[in-house]
Structure 1
Amino acid sequence: MKRIFVACGSGVATSQTVASKVQSMCEDENLDVSVEAVDFKSLENIIDQCDIYISIVSEKDNNWNVPTIKGIPFLTGIGMEEEFEKLKDLIKE
């Protein structure tokens, strides 16, 4: 099972919306994942516990050693299919 974190400022509204959408899309594809919404402040301490990170905030220089997917497309629907394809590829690795 791949563990996915979705982070926003508070870990409540935006990240929870994206996490729910991603979890549902993955279930529809029978992908074995756990998707968790977290707050951005906690991310530094827990990033090593996930396999894939979905970023809601704009990060120019991400120093995480974790594959990162853009989260905004899951919120707006614009570019969502492309990001989901990237996510599926990472899950299947």
Structure 2
Amino acid sequence: MDTKKIVVACGTGGVTSKNIAMKIEKYLKGKGIDAKTSTCRVSEVAALVSQIHPDVVCSATQLPPLDVPTIKATAILTGVGADKVFEQIYDIVK
């Protein structure tokens, strides 16, 4: 099984993106998918995408245009609508 690459971005590349990343990894592990997340600031996301070529980019804030699928992942923080966001991520990486 190949490891799926996911970038999670937030304004500062700190707690918010790490929190989302941990929850995504836990969810996907429960679905039998090996995923590695990388976190960054939104200002760094384009460079990181061109460097690691992720399967999807998730963010709690507005992203610049990217050549990979993107998902707004704020719901993972609030819990409201998180299941739908997790399913969107799963559909992309499965």
- SS of structure 1 residue aligned to 2:32: coil
- From 17, 20, 23, the equivalent of 1:21 is 23
CA distance in 2, matches of 1:16, 1:32: 17
Q: Which runs of 4+ in 1 moved over 2 A?
A: none
C-alpha distance after superposition, 1:3-44 (max 9, x if no partner): 000001111110011011111111111112111211222112
**Aligned counterpart, 1:5:** 7
Aligned pairs (5 A) from 1:31-46: 31-46=33-48
Mapped to 1, the partners of 2:62 and 2:46 lie a distance apart of 16
Matched, 1:51 2:55: yes
Which position in structure 2 is the counterpart of 1:84? 86
State the 1:58 CA deviation. Answer: 2.9
Q: What secondary structure, in the 3-state scheme, does the structure 2 residue paired with 1:37 have? A: strand
In 2, distance between residues paired with 1:17 and 1:65?
24
Note the residue ranges of structure 1 that are not aligned, 5 or more in a row. none
**Alpha-carbon distance between aligned partners in 2 of 1:9 and 1:84, rounded to the nearest angstrom:** 21
